[in-house]
Amino acid sequence: MSAKIDYTHPIFKSEAYQKDIVPFSLIEVLKSSAKLLLSNEKSYIICSVLFPTVPTWIWTAENIGKPELRELCECFYENFNIGNMAYYVAKPDVASAIAEIFIKEKNATLHRIQMQSFECPEIIPPKNNSVIVERAMLDDLETIAELSRCYARECFGREMSREDSMKEAENIIKTLQSFVIRQNGKPVAMAKIARKTEKHVAINEVYTLPEHRCCGFAGAIVAHICKLIIAEGKIPILYADLSNPSSNKAYTNVGFVPRGRVDEIRLE
C-alpha cells in the first residue's frame, strides 16, 4: 500500500536502494525538497518536485513482484494523471508498464530517451592529453550559453531560450563549475559539474561542437573533471544517451563503468 514518506525514511538506507544509488542519484538530490514522496516502504519510491520541467523519479527494487508493480502503476496514474503530459524516469521495464496505462486510458504518445548511468572509480589517462582544460570565464558567457542551447537541442530535442541559457551559463561560470577546451581562444568543448551527493559528484552537458569532434576532447575534459572530483574523496558519475555510442565510448575509455539503465519518458 502506498503511503507518504519523508526523506529520512529507512528505505533510503536499504540494501536494495543503495545498490541502485548511481542510476537514481537524482533522487538523492531531490528527496529533501520533494513535494511528494510515495512508497510502499519496501520495493518502490516515487519522488516528485511537482514541477513540469523536472521528471518524477521512480525507483523500484530489482525483485519487485507483479502485484507491487501493478500497485505502483496505479499509484502513479492516480497521482500524476494531470493535464496532457506525464514526465518520469524509471527502470526500462517499469517505465514501459507505467506508460501502458496512459496509452490505454488517454491514447498518449510516448517519447523515450534510454540512459545508461556510469561511475568512474579509477581514471584511465585520456588518449588526447595534449589539450588544455580550463575553467570557463565570464568572457566565455555568450559561447557557453550557445553551447548549452546546442546541447539541449541536439541531445533532447528541446529548444532553450537565449535568456534562460545566459542565466544558467552565468551561474555555472560564477560557481566555477563549467570547464572548456579552447581552439584559437574560443571554447569548442565544454562539460559541467552538475550536483553533489554524499558519495558522488555528477558531470553533465558534455558537448563538443560538431566540427571539432573525433579529437578526443570529450574524454580529455571529462578525465580532467574526474581528477578534481576524486581529489575531493568522491566518485564521478554521469548519464549517457544510449543512442549516442561514440560519447559512451569516450567515457568508458577514461574509466567509466556502467551502473544501471534508466529511461526518461514523456507521455503527451
Q: Are residues 101 and 150 in the same domain?
A: no
Residues 101 and 187 grouped into a single domain: no
The answer to whether residue 94 is domain-embedded is: yes
What pLDDT, on a 0 to 100 scale, did the predictor assign at position 83?
75
Strands 200-208 and 235-241: parallel
Residue 205 has pLDDT above 80, yes or no: yes
- Beta pairing class for 36-39 and 3-4: antiparallel
Please provide the distance, in angstroms rounded to a whole number, between the alpha carbons at the two ends of the chain: 28
* Structural domain count of the chain: 2
Mean pLDDT, the chain, integer = 94
In this structure, what CATH number is given to the domain that contains residue 251?
3.40.630.30
Residue-wise pLDDT for 137-156, tens only, equals 999 999 999 999 999 898 87
pLDDT of 227-263, one tens digit each? 999 999 999 999 999 987 777 889 999 999 999 999 9
**What pTM, to 2 d.p., does this model score?**
0.92
- State the DSSP string of 76-136: HHHHH--TT-EEEEE-HHHHHHHHHHHHHHH-PPEEEEEEEEEE-SSPPPPS--SSPEEE-
Nearest to 191 by CA among 223, 233, 227: 223
Q: How many CB atoms lie within 10 A of CB 136?
A: 24
pLDDT, one tens digit per residue, over 85-127 is 899 999 999 999 999 999 999 999 999 999 999 999 999 999 9
Q: Which of 73, 108, 143 is the last residue of a domain?
A: 108
Contact by Cβ (8 Å): 27, 57: yes
Question: Do 139 and 236 share a structural domain?
Answer: yes
- For 182, the domain range is 133-259
Does residue 249 belong to any structural domain of this protein?
yes
